Amino acid sequence: MPRQKEKGRPPERTRFCPGVRPFIIGGRMSISQRRDGRWMVKYKPHGERAWRQKTFVDEQTARAWEAEFLAESTAEEERLTLGEVVMLYYRSHPESHPRTKRNVVYFLAGHDADGKHVPGVGEFLRDKFADALTRQDLERMREGFRSRGTGNNTINKYQAYLHAILAWAVDQELISRNPWRDYKRLRVQRHLCMTTLEDFRRVYAFLPAHLQWAFKTAFALALRPGQVELFSLTWDAFDWRRSFVHVRQGKTGLIKTVIPPAMYMEEAAQRYAVDRGAGIHLVCHRHGRRIISYKDAWASACKKAGVKMRPYDVRHLSASEMLARGADLASVAAQMGHSSVTTTGNTYAHVTAGGQARAAALMPVLDAEKVLF
């Protein structure tokens, strides 16, 4: 049987007063008066598809609630998501290294491989409001990396990327606060480079000719081995008149200016003359082609030399040898591209063989009478 309508009770379906038009606001809200005299506000919350409604005794109360709702909705619509902040950051920083930018984009949006979408570790963060990220979001990001076998060093790197982008957004008044400002990075067991110059010479002897020149360049310019710095270096980075080399760093995207050893610059000038005639722009190459793979050749050379050494240890060795020969921390920091001498001192000073003994020998003698000649 059809449901009977109770006496004195308004019908369940909204019936508007004749001649009273509902007020439509921005396509997301309407105000109208019902036949029983009450006022109804129909609205659609931000991000939702379904309409909702609230009923009020009088028009004044309905409009007061409407004004409050619109104020909150407008403020929410103006808030930026993390994905939007990242997009604005890289638009404002065209000098950022392409690989760093690509890594951050893959982190937030994933990528396609073999016709399938590979989700990014931080894809769940992309559509969250940038100023509302929580500690739980950070821990979920870390766990996502750990599930893929990623170490703390890489996890810290991505945390640092987001921290820098959020700090920039606060500075530009795009967001009200940096929600990850006070969260510390994970502890990382620092790799102590105990490799000596003699170890490097032994490995160097077993490298193919194109990699001998490449790692001689890495050592002379204190470069990070790999595609971003060493194997992307071009001859136009060399200032032959002033004997400088300008290198865009892969870690920060900033330009560092290196003064190479004179003997290296002499050999580089000879190679440049040959490469220029052949139309080759890369400093390190294999018969004019870009060096893509080198780790197998490096591992083979280490095995033949009987030395355990990582390619990155060449950069460490460059710094420690400069310090061992009396270079001051500020100069070595400039060669390495460090923004702070503290980084240089903490990372490299401890591996300087005999450094402390030489420092002790430089101390003046206070009690001159007791000095034995």
Structure token pair of residue 52: 């909702």
The CATH number of the domain covering residues in 197-351:
1.10.443.10
Q: Is the pLDDT of residue 35 over 50?
A: yes
Question: Which residue(s) pair with 285 in the sheet?
Answer: 290
Considering only residues 327 and 28, tell me which one the structure prediction assigns the higher pLDDT: 327
Distance CA 352, CA 326 (A): 10
pLDDT band at 95 (very low <50, low <70, confident <90, very high): confident
pLDDT at 365: 57
Q: How many CB atoms lie within 10 A of CB 223?
A: 29
Considering only residues 177 and 19, tell me which one the structure prediction assigns the higher pLDDT: 177
pLDDT at 47: 60
Structure token pair of residue 232: 């992307």
Q: Which of 19-23, 50-54, 334-338 has the lowest mean pLDDT?
A: 19-23
pLDDT at 31: 81
pLDDT band at 279 (very low <50, low <70, confident <90, very high): very high
Distance CA 250, CA 94 (A): 14
Residue identified by tokens 């990070």 is: 224
Considering only residues 254 and 304, tell me which one the structure prediction assigns the higher pLDDT: 304
pLDDT at 5: 43
- Domain locations in the chain as residue ranges: 29-78, 82-172, 197-351
Q: Is the pLDDT of residue 8 over 70?
A: no
pLDDT digits (tens, 9 = 90+) for 281-328: 999 999 999 998 899 999 999 999 999 999 999 998 998 888 888 888
Q: Is the pLDDT of residue 20 over 70?
A: no
Is this structure's pTM higher than 0.75?
A: no
